[in-house]
Amino acid sequence: MRKVRKAVIPVAGLGTRFLPATKSMPKEMLTIVDRPVIQYAVDEALEAGIDHIIFVTGRNKEAIEDYFDIQPELNDTLRRAGKSKQLAELDKLQLPPGAVSLTRQQSPDGLGHAVWCARDLVGHEPFAVLLPDMVSHGRRGCLAGAMDLYAETGGNVISVEECDPAQTHKYGIVGKGRAVGTGFEVTEMVEKPEPAVAPSNSYINGRYILQPEIFALLGNQQRGAGNEIQLTDAMHRLMEVQKFYAAPFDGRMFDCGSKDGFIQANVAFALARADIRDLVLEPITEMVMAKEIRSNAA
Ligand code: G1P
């Protein structure tokens, strides 16, 4: 079985749900506690054994490229100011030279199209995809769990969670087959089905391990839900010739593409940080309990 070395992270989306913040800043640079959203996806990929990150970016996303580069002036200033803790932290996060590639999705044609844009950078090997809006919180990252199942099964692996059965129209939904290892075989796959026709309430939560044969299918994929080229539709076609397995995630995923998910993620990650937890637990609890704050809601 070939090792999964590369991860594709699509970051071309406009982030209209976060206007005005995203008017001049990529949504992936919004911070959860003190790290940009994109850092969580990269950390999760590295934890799962990935050693090369491919960003599929777009116009006005240069801040992401700069963020993953070295900032020599900042480092000098920190060094002169004796801020060795901050320097060490930046150093720890620094990816090695050559470990990041970028390509641009020129037009907003959907997730399937974004992944297809990375075809030359991935080449003919299995690869991971992480949707950075979905931020994984748990003992281990979500991709690491999917990678465990991949080591058992090979083929293609997608990470799943259960959603409210009334919410299937928001996600890619899979049909459940026989149990395999810690997961199950996927029998069906459909993008954003209405609850009445959804094969289950197991939704694709934004982590994939795919074989490179997906690229040829993405290259001639018809538009689907939302008039976009959907990754789910191409995976459904690949299912005719290759196996797909689902790895249920045992942590919690926050949809940081939505305001509520983003705020919940900030609270959850702050409470999980030893250096911050005690500073915020009491004030947050008080705020939640305080009647006047809730009744002042605009
Ligand atoms: C995308 C995928 C969908 C998946 C979802 C997870 O949809 O197409 O299958 O369930 O991400 O967030 P989007 O949220 O881009 O509409």
From the list 154, 162, 148, 140, the residue with the least C-alpha distance to 210 is 154
Segments of the chain scoring below 50 in pLDDT: none
Total number of residues shown for the chain: 298
pLDDT tens, residue by residue, 66-113: 999 999 999 999 999 999 999 999 999 999 999 999 999 999 999 999
Is the C-beta atom of 171 inside 6 A of ligand 1? yes
Ligand 1 pocket, residue 150 CB under 6 Å: no
C-alpha distances in Å from residue 87, one per residue of 33, 81, 265: 18, 10, 26
Burial per residue of 155-175, b for 16 or more beta-carbon CB atoms within 10 angstroms, e otherwise: bbbbbbbebeeeebeebbbbb
- What does the DSSP 8-state code read for residue 278? H
- CA–CA distance, 29 with 26 (Å, rounded to integer): 6
- State the helix-helix crossing angle for 259-271 and 277-289, rounded to 10 degrees: 130
159 lines ligand 1 (CB under 6 A): no
The CB of 224 under 6 Å from ligand 1? The reply is no
Given this model, what pLDDT does residue 296 score? 67
Closest residue by CA, ligand 1 atom 7 = 171
For the domain spanning 6-257, the CATH number is 3.90.550.10
Ligand 1 center to 225 CA (angstroms):
11
Cα–Cα distance between 83 and 260 in angstroms, integer?
35
CA gap 128, 146 in Å, rounded = 10
Ligand 1 center–CA 93 separation, angstroms:
28
Which atom of ligand 1 has the smallest separation from the CA of 13? 15
Q: Is residue 232 within 6 Å of ligand 1 at its C-beta? A: yes
The response to whether residue 204 sits with its C-beta less than 6 Å from ligand 1 reads yes
Q: 206: Cβ below 6 Å to ligand 1?
A: yes
How many whole angstroms separate alpha carbon 147 and alpha carbon 159?
10
Q: Which of 135, 161, 171 to mutate to test the pocket of ligand 1 (most atoms within 8 A of CB)?
A: 171
Q: How many CA atoms lie within 13 A of 185 on its CB side?
A: 10
Distance from Cα 171 to the centre of ligand 1, integer Å:
5
**174-183, pLDDT tens digit by residue?**
999 999 999 9
Q: What is the pTM of this model?
A: 0.95
Q: Closest ligand 1 atom, CA of 255?
A: 12
Q: Is the CB of 111 under 6 A from ligand 1?
A: yes
Q: Which of 8, 115, 204, 207 to mutate to test the pocket of ligand 1 (most atoms within 8 A of CB)?
A: 204
Contact present, 42 and 53 (Cβ < 8 Å): yes
Nearest CA owner, ligand 1 atom 8: 172
